[in-house]
């Protein structure tokens, strides 16, 4: 396995973030336009969040969420690449993370069934824990 194989799930996560960003703006602009809200009326922080229905606010919340645990994922991917530790186990765990983060985002941005969303988030995060613990064990051994 080549070391750069780890960058496929890395970029998949980057593009997931970009897709959620586009979807968020589609939802926001549609809402603002349909409600005939002046952009100036939204100048105060959190104004849009306070007046938005869930189908508008959830994509924004999900985008914020994509700058939490995924940041650890990015750091770990870079660490594994730099230290030349990438192997099939890490790449599979990284793809596991991507799949469950993508499912989490899909649920969060659409029908938002909370318990399903939580379990998808949990599974994705456990993949990051696995990668982190395995890398730390090798580093400290």
pLDDT value at 1 more than 90: no
Q: CA neighbours within 13 Å on the CB side: how many for 26? A: 8
Q: What percent of the chain has pLDDT over 90?
A: 90
- Structure confidence by residue, pLDDT tens digits, 108-124: 999 999 999 999 999 99
CA distances, 31 to each of 62, 81, 114 (Å) = 17, 42, 23
Determine contact, residues 96/127, Cβ cutoff 8 Å: yes
User: What is the reported pTM?
Assistant: 0.95
Q: Which listed CATH number (3.40.50.720, 3.40.50.10860, 1.20.120.550, 1.20.120.80) goes with 3-140?
A: 1.20.120.550
Given a contact cutoff of 8 angstroms between Cβ atoms, the answer to whether 111 and 30 are in contact is: no
Where are the chain's structural domains?
Answer: 3-140
Q: pLDDT tens digits, residue range 53-74?
A: 999 999 999 999 999 999 999 9
């Amino acid at each position: 396995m080549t070391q750069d194989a780890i960058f496929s799930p890395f970029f998949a996560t980057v593009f997931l973030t970009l897709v959620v960003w586009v979807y968020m703006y589609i939802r926001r602009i549609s809402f603002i336009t349909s409600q005939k809200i002046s952009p100036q009326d939204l100048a105060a922080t959190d104004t849009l969040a306070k007046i938005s229905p869930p189908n508008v606010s959830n994509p924004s919340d999900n985008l914020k969420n994509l700058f939490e645990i995924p940041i650890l994922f990015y750091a770990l991917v870079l660490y594994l690449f730099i230290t030349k530790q990438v192997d099939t186990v890490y790449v599979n765990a990284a793809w596991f993370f991507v799949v469950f983060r993508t499912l989490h985002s899909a649920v969060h941005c659409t029908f938002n069934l909370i318990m399903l969303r939580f379990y998808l988030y949990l599974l994705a995060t456990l993949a990051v824990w696995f990668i982190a613990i395995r890398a730390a064990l090798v580093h400290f051994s």
